[in-house]
Structure formats: structure tokens, C-alpha cells
Amino acid sequence: MKKILVTGAFGQIGSELVPALQKKFGKDQVVAMGHKTVTSNFDGILEKADTRDKDILASIIKKYDIVDVYHLVSLLSVGGEKDPKVTWDINVGGLKNILELGVEFGLKIFWPSSIAAFGSTTPRDNTPQETILEPTTMYGVTKVTGENLCRYFNIKYGLDVRSVRYPGIISWKTPPSAGTTEYTVAMLYDGVQGKGNTCWLGPDMMLPMMYVNDAIKATIDLMDTPVLKIKLRGSYNLAAVSFTAKQWEEAIRKHIPDLKVSYKPDERQKIADSWPKSIDDSQARADWGWKHEYSLEKMTKEMVENLRKEFSIS
């Protein structure tokens, strides 16, 4: 059996990807690596390290005879604007270390890009696979840089590195952060707990979104795809559903009639304004059979039900 390393294992994606990989390959085959945030009740192999430290990364790869790496470590859009230098060091420096070690140890690597790679000059409706990439945040700049690094390492060294551009990811298992698309999770948490919600985006702000279960499926499916089917070595567009903040509110209200939402756009609105409304992911669907499962209605219903159980609310 192959040993798998997941960096950023306790973030929004990692906290759900690790259990999925454990279920598929066994707990003793998955190494979860965290830096600051580590779940106290984690059941599995755990390593604490910083991806900016290449020597420690190399020692972990050798220690466990790692074959596949899911490199998820990243500072996101809002946090990235507060400290651009650290964002560059973590997002680009950490990825470069992983890619270089990938060449040295013959690894297969997954690294996620994002819709943040697009910018205000990108066509916003049905954004094509090949398009203008002029981001307006440091987070977005690091994603474009990362896509080019992945492509370079594949062309130069034959490194098997695979990537998707995640849309906004929605999960009920992790509390909302201050990220631009996290208004969805904040609204859901407040609604289930009977609190009023203040949305930091405007009601008509439409963005491409995806339930985390679909994101995990896409990630594992891409890594399982035979190498000859992978036609892109930058990053595949990935899509599921697009909706406005008001449509999200209305979807939640079907399950929580007393939901109260007020709209007070802040600095995150400007970030969202530079991102697409919808994504053309036809190449991912054609090359490796990507297909999403969750509609807006199915996603909302499942999230509300699970959060009510989590908070013991009937």
C-alpha cells in the first residue's frame, strides 16, 4: 500500500480529506501534517511541521516512504492581504519545497489553485479554462504563481503534479473563518443557532460554490485518474453550483423560517467583485469524468440537518 502525506491536514479541506483517504487506504497509510491548528482528538498518524522547512519535510517523506502528497497548506484571501510577505513565503515557498522534493523522491502531488487566480479582467460568466489571470489579491497572485510552478516542474522534470481551481468551498464541519466565501457558513451557523446574521457580501453577489463532499471527491478522483488522461498541468477549472448571497439565504430559510439576515458589505466585497460568477469546467468533465453530486437544495438540507445534530437542536 502507498503512504500518503496531507499537509494542511486540519484546515477546511484537509479535515475532511484525511478521513476520506483513511477510509479508502487505511489509517496507517495516511500521514496528517499540521503546523498550528491540530485537532486534539485526531485518530491517525500525526506530524507537526512547517512546509517552509524543506529539511523537515524531507525527513517526514523518508520516514514514512511517502508516495503521494496532497499539499493543502495556504494562507487565504483575507489573511493574505494582512501580511503579503508571509503569504508569499507559505503559499509559494512551501509549494516550491514540495515540488522540489517531488522530483527528488518521485512523488505524485496534488495542489489546489482557486478562483482567486482570476481577476477583474477575467470574463466573469462561464469563465473559460484558458483565460486572463490577473488577480488583485496576494492570495490570488500566489495561486497563479503556483499554477505556473506546477506546469514548469511537469515540463522540466516530468513531475506528476495535478491541480484544480477550487470554487468557494462550503462545509458544516469547520466553523466559519473570515474568508470571502465563508459568509455561507457564517449564515448557516447563525441560522441554526437562532442568531441574527450580518452578511459581509451584498445580496446580489453571485459566486461559484461547491459542497465540500464534492470537493473531496474531485480531489481524490483526479489523483486516481490514469496519468495519460491528465491533459492540463497548470490547474483544471472546477464547478458545481453558482448562487447569490440572497439565494443562499432563501435556501436556508426553507429549513429555518425565522432566519434573520442583514447585508453590510465590507472589504471582502471588493475581493468577491474580482471573481467569476460561474465557471466552465467542461475540460475536467471531459478529461477525467468530473461530475458534481450536490445541488444547492441538497447541499443546504444536508448541512442544516448535520449542524442541528452537532448543536443538539431539534
Instruction: Convert the chain into a string of H (helix), E (strand) and C (coil).
Output: CCEEEEECCCCCCHHHHHHHHHHHHCHHHEEEEECCCCCCCCCCEEEECCCCCHHHHHHHHHHHCEEEEEECCCCCHHHHHHCHHHHHHHHHHHHHHHHHHHHHHCCEEECCEEHHHCCCCCCCCCECCCCCCCCCCHHHHHHHHHHHHHHHHHHHHCCEEECEEECEEECCCCCCCCCHHHHHHHHHHHHHCCCCEEECCCCCCEEEEEEHHHHHHHHHHHHHCCHHHCCCCCCEECCCEEEEHHHHHHHHHCCCCCCCEEECCCHHHHHHHCCCCCECCHHHHHHHCCCCCCCHHHHHHHHHHHHHHHCCCC
Q: What mean pLDDT do residues 228-245 have?
A: 97
Domain boundaries along the sequence of the chain: 3-167+212-237, 169-209+242-279+293-310
Find, among 162, 123, 8, the residue nearest to 75 by Cα. 8
Q: What cell was used for 275? A: 471573481
Measured CA distances, 141 to 83, 103, 131, 213, 294 (Å): 13, 24, 15, 27, 30
Q: Which of 64, 70, 139, 157 is catalytic?
A: 139
Measured between alpha carbons, how far is 242 from 244 in angstroms, rounded to an integer? 7
Determine the average pLDDT of the residues in 23-34: 97
What's the mean pLDDT when you consider all of the chain?
96
pLDDT band at 37 (very low <50, low <70, confident <90, very high): low
Cα–Cα distance between 186 and 243 in angstroms, integer?
A: 16
CATH number of 169-209+242-279+293-310: 3.90.25.10
Distances in Å between the alpha carbon of 60 and those of 23, 101, 145? 22, 11, 26
Grid coordinates of 263:
447585508
What is residue 312's predicted lDDT score, i.e. its pLDDT? 87
Q: What is the mean pLDDT of residues 19-27?
A: 97
3-167+212-237: in CATH 3.40.309.10: no
Percent of the chain with pLDDT over 70: 99
Closest by CA position to 84, among listed 95, 97, 75: 75
C-alpha cell at 102: 517531488
Say what the pLDDT of residue 88 is.
97
Task: Give pLDDT tens digits for 153-174.
Answer: 999 999 999 999 999 999 999 8
pLDDT at residue 313 in the model: 79
The grid coordinates of residue 21 equal 483517504
Asked whether the predicted pLDDT for residue 283 surpasses 90, the reply is yes
Q: Buried b vs exposed e over 35-47: b needs ≥16 C-beta within 10 Å? A: beeeeeeeebbeb
What is the dihedral sign for C-alpha 305, 310, 311, 314?
Answer: positive
Task: For 101-139, write each residue's pLDDT tens digit.
Answer: 999 999 999 999 999 999 999 999 999 999 999 999 999
**What distance in Å separates the CA atoms of residue 47 and residue 306, rounded to the nearest whole number?**
29
| Residue 61, pLDDT score | 98
70 is catalytic: no
Q: By C-alpha distance, which of 48, 144, 133, 61 is closest to 100? A: 61
142: nearest Cα among 102, 177, 95: 95
Q: How confident is the model at residue 314 (pLDDT cuts 50, 70, 90)?
A: low
Distance CA 252, CA 284 (A): 30
Dihedral over Cα of 135, 99, 234, 170: its sign: negative
